Amino acid sequence: MSIDRFFKWFLPHENRFFTYLESIANNAAAAALVFSTFREATSREDFKKIAKILRMKEAETDAFAHTLYEELDKTFVTPIDREDLHALTHALDDILDTMDSAAEQIYLFKLPSLTEPMREMVRIETEAVLEVVKCVKELHDLGKADQIRVHIIHVNSLENEGDKIYRKALEALFDNMIDPIELIRQKEILDALEDAIDSCEHVVNLIRSVVVKNG
């Protein structure tokens, strides 16, 4: 056990940071459920409504993250390394940012409806976010490392599935698409959806590191 961890064992843990992280995660879960409705959306007006709600959720998450950063700056003892808290907060915020960005692109590119690969990537993103939330809620008890790893593995598996769908969709686009404008439009949206899925894997990779360091 390092000297730093030895002293943290005896000092009172500032567990409110886990509450802040859970608030961000809960907001991400709510946003993901809204994001999932892209699968059934059939009009640009539907896309606009979804994008508007996600923009609001993204702003709420920014506020939660700002509060955590402020508390972090004035707190001496933290339950896990402050660098890890900062990185986790930023990565969770990034999940909202990437969903918001994907939603904006879906709306702004005026796609009449999502393609089947896009719908599948929306499904994967929703599942991945909900697994991330489960991971975050277990962080307050790092003795549950095995349960946390189950969620991490699930997110890694979802990311691999999303990557396969993304590559297959791109291959089909370049094989069959004649209109270059349509090709660019669909590729940009696929890229944005892949970024959203990747952001979930980034969070669980950080959580894996926290579990190893504090196990």
pLDDT 10s digits, 151-186: 999 999 999 999 999 999 999 998 887 788 888 899
For residue 113, the model assigns a pLDDT of: 87
95-137 confidence digits (pLDDT tens): 999 999 999 999 999 888 899 999 999 999 999 999 999 999 9
Distance from chain centroid for Cα 20: 16
**CATH number of the domain within which 138 lies:** 1.20.58.220
Tell me how far apart the alpha carbons of residues 187 and 173 are, in angstroms, rounded to a whole number: 8
| Axis-axis angle for helices 116-138, 145-176 (nearest 10) | 160
pTM: 0.89
Q: Return the number of other C-beta atoms located less than 10 Å from residue 98's C-beta.
A: 22
Q: Which domain holds residue 79?
A: 10-214
Is 154 within a domain? yes
Which residues, 6 or more positions from 44, have their beta carbon under 8 angstroms from its beta carbon? 107, 110, 112
How many distinct structural domains can be found in the chain? 1
- Kindly state whether residue 2 falls inside one of the protein's structural domains: no
Would 4 be classed as within a structural domain?
no
Query: For the chain, what is the radius of gyration of the CA atoms?
Result: 19
